[in-house]
Structures are given as C-alpha cells and as structure tokens.
Amino acid sequence: MNSFDMLNALVSLCDKRSTEQDALYQLGYKSKDIRLEYPAGITGGKGVVVDLLLLSEAINSVLCIESKSGRNIELAQARGYRKLKPQQFAALIRKWREPGAFSVDVAYVCTTAQLEPISKGLKRENLDHSIICFHEVENGQLLAAERYPHLRLALEMMARPCLITLERNKLKNQRLASRLSRGIALDLATVPPFIHFDVSSTAAHLTRCLLQAVSGFAAEGRSTFSSEELASAAYGAEAWQKTMRRAELLARVNKTLTAAADDAGLSRYLAPIPGLERQPAKLRWRISGALVDDEVWLPPAQALAAVAEFANKQVGSDAVLLSTGLMLLYVPTTQPSCPRQNIAPSSVAGGSSAH
C-alpha cells in the first residue's frame, strides 16, 4: 500500500455509501469540500503543504492529513504543522461560521511498517500530532483485528480487507477521536481511484499515468489533446479540480512532453501542434495516428505488459520513459487481418498506476 492508496481510501470514506464504509461522511466530512496539496501559510511567510485537507461543518473540524510512504518524519514540516491555526483556513470555513469555532488537527497516515519509526519521531520531538494506521492482511492474518472484535465479521467478508485505526490520539476534536478510536473496516477493492500521482512522483510512476491517459484517448479515437487535458486525465479528473498545485503538475507534464517530442526520432509518436498559444495549460499535442487508426493493429496484451515492465524499472528521466512507452504502444501492423484492440485506460501498465 502506498501513499496514494491511503489518500484514496480516506477520500472514499467521505462519500455517502450504503454501508459503514462512509465513516468520515457520517461526521460531516464530504468529498466536495476536500483540498489536495493545500498550502497553509504561517507566520514569517513560511508554511506547509497539506497532502489532504478534510473539512467538517457538522463537527467544526479542520483535519490535515500527511500521508507517509517513508519511515521518517520531516522535522521542518512537522514543526510547521504545529503552528497551524483555524484562521489560516478562513477562506474555506468562514462560509459556515467564524474560524475560531473550528479545531485544527494533524494526523500522519501510514502503514504498519512505518508506524513505529513515525511514532518514535513524533514523540522524540514532542510533537502532538496523531497517527492513523492502515493494517492489511499479512501472511494470511490481520493481527490488529484482535483489538476490534466488533469488526471481525465485516473484515472477513471483504475481498481486500483493511483495518484503519487511531494509533496515537492527540486529536482535539473529540467526536472525530471517538469515531476513529472504534476502528474502521474498509474493503480496499471498493475504493475508487481519485488521485494518481503528485509533483514528487518518480519518473516511472508519472510515465505509467501519462501512458494510461494517452491510451485512453486513443481508445476514444482522439489523436490531439492539450497539456491540461492530458494532465487532468492522468492525475484524476475530479482530483484535478481539488488540487492547489495544478501549475506545478502542468509544468512537469509539459517538461516531459516537450523533451520527448524534441527527439527527432520520436516525431512519429508525439509532436507539438504549432500555434500562438503559449499558456502551459493550452499547449496542444498530437500522438501518432497509428494509435487511433482503425486499420492499424494496436498492441496486444504482451506489448502493454512491456510498457508496464519498462516503467517499473524506475530508471531514466520522465522523457526517456515516456518516449519508450510511446514506441512500445506503437506497433506497426504486419497482420492487416488482426482486429483493432480496445485499449481501456485501466489496461495500461497493469491498471491504475497509483492505487
């Protein structure tokens, strides 16, 4: 489980469902109110970027989520979180009531493998942040479930059971603390993809997301797109409207596309469309007509598997990975009788790359 899995799981808990898997929604946290990578300024011009910001009008709560994929905390960031005040979120919560009525809580989200080092790091620095832990089945067992017998049956019925627990309770909002203390059973198999990558994602990870979006366009018969259309499709269309770092994400996508298209040998796969528009979001691109030509035999499963294998090597720049991926997607036909393959977005690189 990576940081995107955990963020997507928390977002899913903010959606109304017919089961207990909407625990955060029941407390008033709604997906329509979330923000991704939200910059929260503090005194002196410095600040922190909140991975996932959850807001609840019902219980007067601002919940800042820091998703950890590593085993250590970043001290400057952790100390910055300690200085956050409700007034720094006034633009989002004043529509409900005065900011002073809200509590601000910070929770580090991690897996069992990261729980101990993160807990020790926070304790060593005397930081009053909470920890929310995701427990998955290991060696056929979900050991943490023994502490939550009331959830055991629900977990046993799930395809991919996950137990979410509050392991370090420093929450100021008592209603949130009370609910999390009871544990949450979540079937990860039911969690819809929301966010796929961020500005710090590896080259291979970004490549998988971009190739997935390109193949989706090809399946729709599209051969041209703007930078923002590709970035939105690759990142997650709904999440794209929630992130506060669109400019940085676009810059990385454009840099990757530009570097790949500048290679003379790759013009058959990807090329910029000349025009006067220079706004990063509106730059337009053309992918090989071979990807959308009905008379060309598009890649079978083994070619798509090759894209996944190459991207998984975690080597090379964004441009090199994207270029190689595009070349693997382009398979000139030597068998006209072969039918066009229907490339669904989820079929590239082994499905959703970030989840």
Residue 147: partners with Cβ closer than 8 Å, 6 or more residues away: 165, 183
Same domain for 160 and 280, yes or no, is: no
Tens digit of each residue's pLDDT (9 = 90 or more) over 235-251: 999 999 999 999 999 99
Residue 332 has pLDDT above 50, yes or no: no
DSSP string, 97-122: S-GGG-EEEEEEEEEHHHHHHHHHHH
On whether residue 198 sits in a domain, the answer given is no
Nearest to 330 by CA among 256, 259, 249, 268: 268
Looking at the fold, whether 272 and 182 belong to one and the same domain comes out as no
From CA 77, how far away is CA 207, in angstroms rounded? 28
In a domain, 354, yes or no: no
pLDDT band for position 342 (50/70/90)?
Answer: very low
Is 259 a domain residue?
yes
Tens-place pLDDT, residues 263-321: 665 566 778 888 766 788 888 988 876 555 544 434 444 444 544 555 555 445 666 66
Residue type, 136: E
Q: What does the pLDDT look like over 129-183, one tens digit per residue?
A: 999 999 998 877 888 889 999 999 999 999 999 999 999 999 999 999 999 999 9
Give every CB contact of residue 75 below 8 A, 6+ residues apart in sequence. Answer: 125
240 and 160 within one domain: no
| Partner residues linked to 54 by β-bridges | 63
Residues 233 and 178 placed together within one structural domain of the fold: no
Mean pLDDT, residues 120-134 taken together? 95
Residues 315, 238 within the same domain: yes
| Gyration radius from the chain CA atoms | 22
Tokens of 316: 């090379």
> Two tokens at 291?
């990807």
Give the pLDDT of residue 347.
30
Query: Do 139 and 207 reside in the same domain of the chain?
Result: no
Residue 174 CA to residue 226 CA, distance in Å, equals 46
Would you say residue 32 has pLDDT above 60? yes
The overall average pLDDT reported for the chain is: 81
Q: Which two tokens stand for residue 21?
A: 């898997």
- Could you tell me the pLDDT band of residue 66, with boundaries at 50, 70 and 90? very high
Q: Is residue 195 part of a domain?
A: no
Whether 197 is covered by a domain: the verdict is no
Please spell the DSSP secondary structure of 8-43, one letter per residue: HHHHHTTS--SSSTTHHHHTTB-GGG-EEEEEEE-T
pLDDT at residue 208, as a whole number: 77
Question: Quick one: tokens of 349?
Answer: 């690189």
pLDDT of residue 280: 83
Beta pairing partners, 49: 39
Q: Are residues 235 and 303 in the same domain?
A: yes
Over 90: is that where the pLDDT of 354 sits? no
What pTM does this model have?
0.80
Q: 20: domain range?
A: 3-190
DSSP code, position 128: -
Residue type, 131: I
Domain's final residue, options 169, 190, 211: 190
Residue 38 tokens, joined: 């939200």
* Residue 46 resides in a domain: yes
Query: How much is the pLDDT for 289?
Result: 62
How many structural domains does the chain have? 2
Give yes or no: residues 216 and 323 share one domain.
yes
Residues 154 and 303 in one domain: no
Are 337 and 212 members of one domain?
Answer: yes
- Predicted pLDDT of residue 281: 86
Q: Are residues 23 and 81 in the same domain?
A: yes
Q: Give the mean model confidence (pLDDT) for residues 115-142.
A: 92
Quick check: is 238 in a domain?
yes
Q: Do residues 90 and 62 make contact, with C-beta atoms less than 8 angstroms apart? A: no
Instruction: Report the pLDDT value the prediction gives residue 2, as an integer from 0 to 100.
Output: 85
Query: What is each CA distance from 338 to 88, 229, 294, 304, 330, in whole angstroms?
Result: 59, 31, 11, 17, 15
172 in the same domain as 59: yes
In a domain, 196, yes or no: no
CB neighbour burial string for 46-57, b if at least 16 within 10 angstroms, e if fewer: ebbbbbbbbbbe
Confidence label for 328 from pLDDT (cuts 50, 70 and 90):
low
